[in-house]
Amino acid sequence: MPTRKKFVAGNWKMNTTLAEAKALGAAVAKGVGTDTNVTVAVCPPFPWLVPVGEAIKGSAVALGAQDVHYEKKGAFTGEVSPAMLIEAGCKYAIVGHSERRHILGESETAINHKVHTALEEGLSVILCMGETLAERERNLQERVFQRQVFAACAGLTDEQFQRLVIAYEPVWAIGTGKVATPDQAQEAHAFVRTKLRQLYGDKIADTTPILYGGSVTPETTAGLMSKPDVDGALVGGASLKADSFVAIVKAAGG
């Protein structure tokens, strides 16, 4: 089985001032350095992409956006296209985060369209999925994963899958301080990988990184990363403190 490189991405959400963003980016870049055995990305708010890109330049840290629009250009007030993100220095875009699904009402169709457009335009995609507490309590999580994987990835080519990262984020663990146990995370990741294998074959299943997200901390990282199907972390609150985020990167790298 191929060895998947660990991947840690920081989602800053709607936080930081310009000064804070530049300082955070610079501190993460310094902490990670130019050589790491972990793929690392930070995803600041849209207005701070260019200055944070400057702050991390020369390091091993890549720039990502927290969202992207599903059309390439046009009359879409307030939206940001993949080409704009690439020109701003982005390599990655997060798509389908639970806050966009559940707070802003993004549909499975819109998420699939975003995935396609971002990949077609040259971005790599961090695709989020996960169940709510109500869905887990009713033991529906596997049905949710199956629906979300099938809907978001429908129509992708093998080449496009090489630029897709999946992030499993149990909605009940995001920003709550609750963390799925390593065994719960492994169970979810293994199921998602099984679905990828059934739908798209061994190569895609074995090479697609699946990250865990949901109140990740330096203390919980090693246990999560010890599981065979947990390939990294999408970090929320802890990514707003450079020392915490760098500690997670180092823990992921073993």
**Per-residue pLDDT tens for 19-60?**
999 999 999 999 999 989 999 999 999 999 999 999 999 999
Does the annotation flag 175 for ligand binding? yes
The segments of the chain whose pLDDT lies below 50 read none
- Structure tokens given for 17: 């001032």
Give the domain 7-20+33-252 fold: TIM Barrel (3.20.20)
pLDDT of 253 reads 92
How would you label 226-246 residue by residue, b for 16+ Cβ within 10 Å and e otherwise? Answer: ebebbbbbbbbbbbbebebbb
Cα 223–Cα 246–Cα 2 angle in degrees, nearest 5: 55
pLDDT of 2 reads 58
pLDDT of 174 reads 81
Does the annotation flag 64 for ligand binding? no
Quote the CA–CA distance of 94 and 157 in Å, as a whole number. 19
Does the annotation flag 12 for ligand binding? yes
- Structure tokens given for 205: 């299943």
Positions marked active-site: 97, 169
Residue 246 has φ and ψ, to the nearest 5°, of: -65, -35
pLDDT of 254 reads 81
Does the annotation flag 122 for ligand binding? no
**Per-residue pLDDT tens for 143-162?**
999 999 999 999 999 999 99
Q: Where are the alpha helices (DSSP H) in the chain?
A: 18-32, 49-56, 82-87, 98-102, 108-121, 133-137, 141-153, 158-161, 182-200, 202-207, 218-225, 242-252
Quote the CA–CA distance of 59 and 30 in Å, as a whole number. 8
Domains in the chain: boundaries? 7-20+33-252
